[in-house]
Amino acid sequence: MERRALRVTREPREYSFLQSPRSTLNAQRSTLMNVAFLGLGAIGQPMAKRVADAGFPLVIWNRTEARAREFAAATRARQATSPADAARGADVVITCLPNSPDVASLLDGEIGLLAGLRAGATLVDCTSGEPATSRQIANRLRGCGVDFIDAPVSGGVSGAEKGTLTVMVGGNPMVLERVRPVLEAFGQKIVHCGDVGAGDALKAVNNALLAVHIWSAAEGLALLAKEGVSPRVALEVINASSGRSNASMNLFPERVLTRAFPRTFRLALLDKDVTIAAEVSSARNVPAPLLQLTAALMKVAHNSLGDAADHVEAAKLVEQWAGVEIA
């Protein structure tokens, strides 16, 4: 155990293989780091699967035990009995939960993460979380000799399955370099954004922009439908013009016009993300009226459509208000 701790806390320049192509790393890296993954939700599950497939010795834990059991049966991962059990012996512990307070709630008690984490380990929080809470968690862990980085992701469930996620990291860059081989199992673009909390802040703003684009595209297309312009024609023109966005180019053609509305990223989570962006703007005294309004609209949509609704289903509320379907 002592030897492993020494090995993973070396400076990354000692690992010449870090310069090797990604595909050749698996065997070498798997002898270095034991990984624990907590939170096998819509995106956590495929991320953990990529970690297992990359060859890392993996221990998993999930609040609803059946999900963990199913995952362990389908992979070579060991199912832990508690967060503490998962963290014991792990070099890298990854959490992917709805929000930072959920992560904080796993730290304490006899079966909490802190009871299992050893000095020299790193907690990588892939939750789209709150910068201030991440900073508090990092401070608590520092006292135990445990490093922390916030590492929220974007790219959706399909990006997680393909290993093409973007990972936005806040924290010590040397810690990032140490755990980078694990992040590369699911991330293609891994970007150091600043100190602890910077990844969370960037993710919240990115998702606030996503919410703005979904809502504004829905309003514009509903209005055009009322004016007698087919949403299909409208999108063809907008997507060749300056008003286009990921919402207009991908989400609306694939999910709204088709009425498919697949459930990949819950509206409840987008509501949470835009609220974080709005709260950060208030805390920093940065006037952000559009973000504040979008946060309020996402909350109304979430309350009206329920916890299970997908984020793109927010367009259904705009349709209801306008009395027209975007199809």
Question: Which residues, numbered 163-222, are part of the site for ligand NDP (CB under 6 A)?
Answer: none
d(CA 324, CA 322): 5
76: left (phi over 0), alpha (psi -120 to 50) or beta: alpha
Q: Which of 49, 203, 272, 316 is catalytic?
A: 203
Shortest CB 327 distance to ligand NDP, Å: 24
User: Which window, 154-162, 186-194, 294-302, 312-320, contacts ligand NDP (CB under 6 A)?
Assistant: 154-162
* 154 vs 224 by CB, closer to ligand NDP: 154
Residue 203 is a catalytic residue: yes
| Binding to ligand NDP in span 97-136, by CB under 6 A | 97-98, 102, 105-106, 127-128
Contact 113, 107 (CB under 8 A): yes
C-alpha–C-alpha distance, residues 224 and 152, integer Å: 36
Q: In this chain, which of 121, 214, 218, 269 binds ligand NDP, going by CB under 6 A?
A: 269
Q: Among residues 157 and 225, whose Cβ is nearest to ligand NDP?
A: 157
| DSSP classification of residue 150 | E
Q: How far is CA 6 from each of CA 93, 119, 120, 121, 271, rounded to the nearest angstrom?
A: 17, 11, 8, 10, 42
CB of 236 to ligand NDP, least distance (A): 27
156 binds ligand NDP (CB under 6 A): yes
Run of H or E residues at 63: none
Whole-number Cα distances in Å, 165 to 3, 50, 55, 146, 281? 32, 11, 19, 25, 26
Binding span for ligand NDP by CB under 6 A among 39-47, 234-242, 244-252, 297-305: 39-47
- 277's tokens: 């962006």
Minimum distance, C-beta of residue 190 to ligand NDP, in the bound complex (Å)? 15
Binding interface with ligand NDP (CB under 6 A) = 39-44, 62-64, 67, 96-98, 102, 105-106, 127-128, 153-154, 156-157, 264-266, 269, 273
User: What residues are labeled active site?
Assistant: 203
